[in-house]
Chain A
Amino acid sequence: MRVLLRRSTRLVLVYIVATSALIAVALPVILPVSHNYYALDGARLGHLKLAKRGSAWLLTLRDLQGVEPGKALLVVAREEPLGYDELEQVVEFARRGGVVVFYGSESATKQLFEHLGVAVSHLGSVVDPVFSVNESSLVLVSTASLNTTLLLDSPYSIQVLGRVEGVDVKPLAYTSALSYIDSNSDGEYSVGEPIGSFPVAYSIRLGSGELLAFCARGVLTNSVFSYNVNWLEGLATTRSVLLDQSWARASWLLYLKLVVSTPRGASPLYISLLAAALALVTTYAYSAAHERS
């Protein structure tokens, strides 16, 4: 009788522990997480649409060393400036023949330019009440070289103050002549604010590759992705798109979700592991119950 009771208690404990563990492991996949430029975020500045389009994400920029530059297009979008090593890895990737699309916050863009030896100053947000979509922060810009129109989320203007020799910086995209720089950030036009066409993207030749730096909070983010997807496909052609998510390592939850997910949902490996664990527990429970009877 005592033995039977002990086995029954042990069985219940195993059930509780196993169920808790399964729930704990499943939570990161179930719980929605919102973070700018996150591959699994469906909000305005997330990258879910890009991820679903078939891009792979990089959990560390060191992986770039193993990527063949001629066959990849790297998308780097950052809220915070990159570290020195990260910048070096991105620049090195471009020098080896890779194409890099860079955008994000003002500080991140400024730091990229300064790393390349180009001194810049931030002038303010660019607002275009005429050539915009739905709201004046989604601004239509024209790329001269590619002869196409892009939609940028919250573009801003920078002034190139000086550059070092050997760095070829060319303006890539301009806003319309009806846009203005909202210098005082009041969201409206104020007397004295310049109206005109402003460069909001630059093409920087690095070795045999190219770095396309956009002065905008979003270029391939969800809010503007459907508008710019054709441009991306034209740019990538045969290259595979790699989305930088190395910054997500700073948060265990963001990182764990990326590890157990694929752009289309939970990773098959993860699901297999969960199924195996479930099968083990069920088998154990069944055998224990059989022994008791």
Chain B
Amino acid sequence: MNKCVAMLVLVVLPPLAMGVSAQPSPQPVADCTYLLAVLEKAVSYAVRGLPEGEQIAYAMLKTPVAPALSDLHTRSYRVLLSYYTTVGQGVGNSSAVQKLYELHQGVGVVSEYIKKLHSCCKDPEVAYVIRARAELHLRELRDRLEDMVKQYSTGYQHVVVRIDDRVYEPGEAIAIRVEVVNETCAPRSAALTYAGAVLDSGEFRCTGLECVAVLRAPPAYAVKDYVKSGVEKMSLVIRVSCSGRDFRVYRFASVKYTYPRVVMECSSTVTRGDVLNITLYSESGVLSGVLVVENATSVNAVANITISSTPTIFMLLVEKLYFSAGLNTLRLCVNATEKTLPHCFEKPIVVKPRHPSVEVKALPLYISWDGGAQLLIINHVDRVLSARVYVNGRLAALAELSPLNTTLLHVYRGLLPLSLASIVVDVEDPLMVYDTYSYTCSPTVVNLALTTAVVIGGLATTILLQGREKMFTLLLAMSGAPKGARGVAESIPDVLRNLLKPYVLGLGSRVAQLYYRLVNRFTRLPSSSETLREHYSTAVLSAIKSAWNRKVLWQFLLLAEKDMYSHEKPRPEEAKRLYESVAKEEH
């Protein structure tokens, strides 16, 4: 019948039939949301007994997926395919029942794959809808398998198996009663299994045709790695022997596992150095565990403790070893017991810092001959503290502060007449009871010796330069002279030389230089405080008697002026001609 249905599907649903003939994509599928949605569809089809689920499982089994998912992907779709195969082949024989039982055990793989896919979805919150739907379908599938296993394993009516239909407590006795219908049969043993492991087993004791075996529901500590809070189904495998031939009957027992109930009360805000009183008691019997403090940087175990139903106060000193300033988490992790699963309870604690009573005294302005700055640190605490002083970001001093004592620290020496020092003082407690106290200041430091030297040097320079303002004026004029003025730009590298002989060099004019050379033969050069014309009337006319020479020198003077100040520069040949004419005349 099921084969016919499968064939019908292949014919009626061409897209699915195509899946058999066409090769699936060689590209690994890594879209977890898509894979989760497809898995949900496949499981829902399987639950409803529709053949589309088988086709999807077949196609997906051939489809490569991301390596991280590959193993679970293959195993999950094998379980689904196996479900279809087993159901399709009929469950009329004991091996089919065995397969159904194995399938029931294998459903956990699909559940694991659903969780894995959900964890890698791009938007897990939105994808939770698909996960919830898939898990619901899977639960239905598991229940259906359970019913099938129960129904078909006793299909021959050799024995009647009875178990109390209720939820058991962990560790509680589960009585399995077997009534023998076929007298050639006898129940041999019963085993309780979960996740493939046999957790308990026992022999049957018979009174007439009534046999009883008592198994223990697994204690919580035995299954702590597999189960979470809630009702778990444990498998009961009953071995029955009929005329020397063994077969198995399967039943399921529900066991409820819970987390322990523990009350942990303490103040949510404490100050460093205080004692934190933690009230602890259990509403789930005696529990043992470990108290852990998670601070901003590390997790530290504080103590191993035992909690009972009687409230106990656990005192914990809020010291730096365990607590950092700010938010800390107090975590109590209790071990599994027979009845309860392991669990951790958390409580946030805000720790306020406590600084040592220390006074740091610094002046806003330090005036000294050496440019030094000092700090006065007064320790009001009756224990040794250490101080680190950073000036402008560099460690400048390291000192031990004696109890109830005052310490003077030289922390800075200014190498400029006036400087600004950025000082940070960190006072620490070596015993780590107190938090680090930080003090910051930015005093101004005056170095008197250097200031005096600078003042004296400045005064001397002022005196030396008095009456030589023209030198500076000329220097400024030369540095900012228009580019058109010939010779000036070229002479800037020799600015000092020019500064000393401004007129001799004639502002870089070659004509003027030639004029000066000529004049220098007859008389003195023009001083810095007279014009060329003044010099001509006072010095040249008195030195040169020849009227012709006077006339030539006057023309030469006009030529030099034109070369120095006018945009219309004279030709150098003309100056040369005048120079040579005077020189010849002189000879």
Contact = CB atoms under 8 A, between A and B. Distances in A.
A134 B15 contact: no
A214 interface: no
A184 interface: no
B15 A189 contact: no
A188 B14 contact: no
Interface stretch (A31-39, A55-63, A173-181, A233-241): A173-181
Contacts of B38: 178, 195
A140 interface: yes
Interface stretch (A86-94, A124-132, A205-213, A261-269): A124-132
A129 B34 contact: yes
A22 interface: no
A136 interface: yes
A63 B140 CA distance: 65
Contacts of A140: 18, 22
A157 to B, nearest CB: 13
Given A174-B15, A177-B52, A197-B13, A131 B21 contact: no
A228 interface: no
B461 interface: no
A180 B37 CA distance: 10
B31 A188 contact: yes
A132 B37 CA distance: 18
Nearest to A145: B14
A24 interface: no
A149 interface: yes
A176 B59 contact: yes
- Interface size band for B: 20 to 34
Interface string A121-153: 000000011111111100011111001010000
A159 interface: no
A189 B33 contact: yes
B216 to A, nearest CB: 44
B24 A131 contact: yes
A176 B15 contact: yes
A190 interface: yes
From A174, A176, A190, name the one whose CB has the most chain B CB atoms within 10 angstroms: A176
B292 interface: no
Contacts of A188: 31, 33-34, 122
Contacts of B31: 129, 188-189
Interface in B7-22: 13-19, 21-22
A195 B41 contact: yes
B63 interface: yes
B240 interface: no
Interface residues of A, number: 28
A142 B17 CA distance: 8
A161 interface: no
B167 interface: no
A285 to B, nearest CB: 61
Nearest to B41: A195
Contacts of A132: 25, 27
A191 interface: yes
A190 B16 CA distance: 23
A178 B38 CA distance: 7
B55 interface: yes
B56 interface: yes
Contacts of A190: 33, 126
A68 to B, nearest CB: 34
B29 A129 contact: yes
B120 to A, nearest CB: 13
A180 B34 contact: yes
Interface string A40-65: 00000000000000000000000000
A289 to B, nearest CB: 62
A189 B34 contact: yes
The 3 closest A-B pairs by CB, nearest first: A189-B34, A142-B18, A197-B15
Interface of A: 128-136, 140-144, 147, 149, 174-178, 180, 188-191, 195, 197
Given A130-B29, A136-B25, A176-B59, 4 more contacts: A176-B16, A177-B15, A178-B56, A195-B37
16 contacts: A129-B25, A129-B29, A129-B31, A129-B34, A130-B63, A131-B24, A134-B27, A136-B25, A141-B18, A142-B17, A176-B15, A176-B18, A177-B56, A188-B33, A197-B15, A197-B16
